[in-house]
Structure 1
Amino acid sequence: MESGSVTTPFGRRAMTLGMLASQQIAETIEPGTTRNKWKLFRAICEARPALGVTDRALNVLDALLTFYPDNELSEDRGLIVFPSNAQLSIRAKGMTAATLRRHLAGLVEAGLIVRKDSANGKRYARRDRAGAVSEAFGFSLAPLLARAAEIEALAAQAVADRELMRITRERLTICRRDVAKLISAALDEGAAGDWEKITCIFREIVARLPRAPGIEHLTSVLDDMSLLREEVVNQLEMWTKTQKMHSNESQIERHIQNSKPESTYELEPSFETKQGAKSADRFGQPSGPIASENEISNSAGDAGGGKKLTRRPIGEGGAMKSFPLGMVLQACPDISDYGPGGQITNWRDLMTAAVVVRSMLGVSPSAYEAACAAMGPENAATVIACILERGGHINSAGGYLRDLTRRTEAGEFAIGPMLMSLVRANSSIRRKAG
């Protein structure tokens, strides 16, 4: 397009400021700029929504590009094509004249082509004696070349947005499937939890998706669905660990011959050696008295003579003494906040809360499993409750629990003095508060 030229449309078509702006843009082609016309056309197709053109208009632009003699668009070779409506209709796959004119106007309005009309509105070219085109009237493709960088950027953005949409849809589909199947598995296995409420939340999140969601809708729903999946997984992991603890407990009990029934719990601490007192002293109170050995006589029945079973102190083959749940909660009231529903009503609730607190205190699963194996699940949960109660005085909860586990295996630790110390401490605090 000749520099500084301004052309107005032929006939009844009015001149607009948009046409003037397109002609001005067409004059800003950088010297030496070239583009492959078909690669540029593909970029226009990718950026079609941003450019504001229809797919039928792109068919007309495709037909116009076929009349450009070279594959490379270049200002040096001229950028005006001048096919008649009849020729253009054939290459536009038989598009009618009225439809053709409408889509040509759409391309002009979108700033992709510029009209350069002759005096009588005909499209033609003047050639010199050498046969080269000296002047042409028709449609200028100069805006395509001038806006090539912009079009390519829009195309790249469109591709990126489409890829983001695809990835987000895929992630949402997987996340939605995970939550649905995890809830189904929890219901089938009878896992503890308010699964009816979680199912309602899941359905509410899914219902927020419109029929044709945009990236904003998908991202928002994906964030909420991911949080719900994390919550479901956490609940199932806690339940699984609790079940594993019960399994470990049953395995341990098969190897204990002299375990006392829960109904024979005593309130006094016992089976504590002098070495074990060191562990209790860490809580700021002296250890309890050392109980003597208890002789338990069992009748052998009519089959033979009697047999004596001796309950030995810790460290001599005996089982660790347990204490009533009420005493544990009296000594360690803080653990109740971590139970199901914010309360603890049985040993299972206490062990469930201990798993949560164990993770919060930074105690590794292996350290807790070792404590369960050495002390028993109830006693290990009780120790976790005690550590929580005096957490400000313990630098490393995991290291402290491993030390207590080692002392338990060596028969040097009992829970009684620890609990009694905390009971006395809490009682004095309540008296001062009163």
Structure 2
Amino acid sequence: MQTGHVTTPFGRRPMSLALVRTQMAVDSSDQNARIEKWKVFRDVCEARERFGLQDRALAVLDALLTFYPHGELNPRQGLVVFPSNAQLSVRAHGITESTLRRQLAALVEAGLISRRDSPNGKRYAHRNRDGDVEQAYGFDLTPLLARAGELAAIAQDVAAERTRFRRAKEALTICRRDVRKLLSAAVEEGASGNWGQVEELYVAILGRLPRHPNLAQIDRALDEMQLLRAEILNILEMQLKPENMHGNANLYERHIQNSNTESINELEPSSREEQGGGLGGKPETKSAPIEREKAKPEPIKAFPLGMVLRACPQIADYGPGGRIENWRDLMKAAVVVRSMLGVSPSAYEKACNAMGPENAAVAVACILERSNFITSAGGYLRDLTRRSERGEFSLGPMLMALLKVNAESARKTA
């Protein structure tokens, strides 16, 4: 019966402590374990990118497994195979000897097989009178058996990640199509709005995607594209509502302008005339509050927390333990930042009532990011609150602008 032991490689191949550790881990594995060899091979194929293996390495591993005579890897039946390079080359679809040596070394380095070298470096076996192998020198398949559970978990994780990637790409394709067609319809049918700026944001989002993006880059682009789509629908919804069909078209243009945080003028609170005037600049009548009560604006939709933290990374420093893991942490951090910026409790409370506590915390995080440009944080938040009550404010453009600024800064520092 083949017994496990730590062995050094033949010839000029060096020995390392990592190789000793790997062989010890294999030797300490369960000697009663067994696994179907082709199941392990399928898991290795699924997880090959995690190990940095090429397709030819899989072909060599497949060839090695064909030299193992049993369907299950069983340590009681010996796990060392000893084919020659010529035999391996034939079963590995005729690869050259130099490529074969390179791929065998890659399998050993990945910890999927190990070498059991003979005194002269040849591969052979000693058999007893019954023809059973007593001692073999070649390639040991024990690491595949010892790591079978790990390989299966990695294969499942890779498959799940591939599914997430495929679905994220599908969602981005649909969202991209929605934005493109909604934007074209708005321009062709003469809807009011700063569609040139929306077009620039759309192109910028796609421009930040590399030729072969990973899952994180796809998710980031999807968040930004969904935010842009929500803003387009928000603008169009305001124009398509029956009560707004006969309103002043300048209102929708002002919605885009007021939501554009790239403008320095917007960083100061609105004037008294703008705050107290109606749509035409005239003082409000006594019936105006009643009309606003009847046409109460819909609450601002909450945005994904991950998107908020990418747009406003500074707020994380004020979360519990210096990080933000959920919306409760963000709201706690907003209270700390509110006090630091000099925003009164009453102003923050009104913002929470008008926007909702989550969106009020997002607004404070945005103000923190642009604090160098804002003269009075308290006055600015009160102005956002009033505009939110009138249905003239959206957090979307603020977050989009900050995402764009942070992305440009990251490219400059890269």
Matching residue's letter, 1:215: L
Shift of 1:19: 2.1
Matching residue's letter, 2:201: I
Alignment correspondent of 2:255: none
Shift of 1:358: 2.0
Alignment correspondent of 1:223: 223
Alignment correspondent of 2:295: 358
Alignment correspondent of 1:170: 170
The change in CA–CA distance for 1:360 and 1:246 in structure 2 (over 3 A counts) is closer
Shift of 1:102: 1.5
The change in CA–CA distance for 1:69 and 1:192 in structure 2 (over 3 A counts) is same
The Cα offsets for residues 90-134 of structure 1, whole Å up to 9 and x where unpaired, read as: 001111112211111111111111111111222112111122111
Is 1:207 aligned to residue 207 of structure 2? yes
Q: 2: distance between equivalents of 1:189 and 1:161?
A: 42
Shift of 1:344: 5.4
Q: 1: distance between equivalents of 2:293 and 2:15?
A: 74
Q: How is 1:111-260 mapped onto 2 (pairs within 5 angstroms)?
A: 111-242=111-242, 245-246=245-246
The Cα offsets for residues 325-384 of structure 1, whole Å up to 9 and x where unpaired, read as: xxxxxxx986757x5xxx658xxxxx9xx799824278xxxxxxxxxxxxxxxxxxxxxx
What are structure 1's unaligned runs of at least 5 residues?
248-331, 346-350, 363-391, 393-434
Shift of 1:158: 0.9
Alignment correspondent of 1:39: 39
Whether the 8 Å CA contact 2:2–2:134 is kept in 1: the answer is no
Secondary structure in 1 aligned to 2:94?
coil
Matching residue's letter, 2:84: S
Q: 1: distance between equivalents of 2:65 and 2:227?
A: 52
Q: 1: distance between equivalents of 2:56 and 2:186?
A: 53
Matching residue's letter, 1:20: V
Whether the 8 Å CA contact 2:2–2:79 is kept in 1: the answer is no
The change in CA–CA distance for 1:344 and 1:68 in structure 2 (over 3 A counts) is farther
Secondary structure in 1 aligned to 2:213?
coil
Alignment correspondent of 2:73: 73
Q: How is 1:273-352 mapped onto 2 (pairs within 5 angstroms)?
A: 336=277
Percent identity among equivalent residues? 50
Alignment correspondent of 1:308: none
The change in CA–CA distance for 1:333 and 1:194 in structure 2 (over 3 A counts) is closer
Whether the 8 Å CA contact 1:82–1:125 is kept in 2: the answer is yes
What are structure 2's unaligned runs of at least 5 residues?
248-272, 283-287, 300-349, 351-414
The change in CA–CA distance for 1:207 and 1:126 in structure 2 (over 3 A counts) is same
Is 1:54 aligned to residue 54 of structure 2? yes
Is 1:6 aligned to residue 6 of structure 2? yes
The change in CA–CA distance for 1:174 and 1:41 in structure 2 (over 3 A counts) is same
The Cα offsets for residues 231-288 of structure 1, whole Å up to 9 and x where unpaired, read as: 10111111111488559xxxxxxxxxxxxxxxxxxxxxxxxxxxxxxxxxxxxxxxxx
The change in CA–CA distance for 1:123 and 1:361 in structure 2 (over 3 A counts) is closer
The change in CA–CA distance for 1:169 and 1:355 in structure 2 (over 3 A counts) is farther
Secondary structure in 1 aligned to 2:125?
strand
The change in CA–CA distance for 1:203 and 1:221 in structure 2 (over 3 A counts) is same
TM-score for the superposition, normalised by structure 2: 0.60
Q: 2: distance between equivalents of 1:40 and 1:222?
A: 36
User: What is the aligned residue count?
Assistant: 272
The change in CA–CA distance for 1:43 and 1:361 in structure 2 (over 3 A counts) is closer
Secondary structure in 2 aligned to 1:58?
helix
Secondary structure in 1 aligned to 2:220?
helix
Secondary structure in 1 aligned to 2:137?
strand
The Cα offsets for residues 61-87 of structure 1, whole Å up to 9 and x where unpaired, read as: 111011011121111221111111111
Secondary structure in 2 aligned to 1:360?
coil
Whether the 8 Å CA contact 1:238–1:356 is kept in 2: the answer is no
Whether the 8 Å CA contact 2:175–2:229 is kept in 1: the answer is yes
Matching residue's letter, 2:134: S
The structure with the larger Rg is: 1
Q: 2: distance between equivalents of 1:211 and 1:173?
A: 15
Whether the 8 Å CA contact 1:18–1:109 is kept in 2: the answer is no
Q: 2: distance between equivalents of 1:172 and 1:134?
A: 60
Alignment correspondent of 1:29: 29
The Cα offsets for residues 382-432 of structure 1, whole Å up to 9 and x where unpaired, read as: xxxxxxxxxx9xxxxxxxxxxxxxxxxxxxxxxxxxxxxxxxxxxxxxxxx
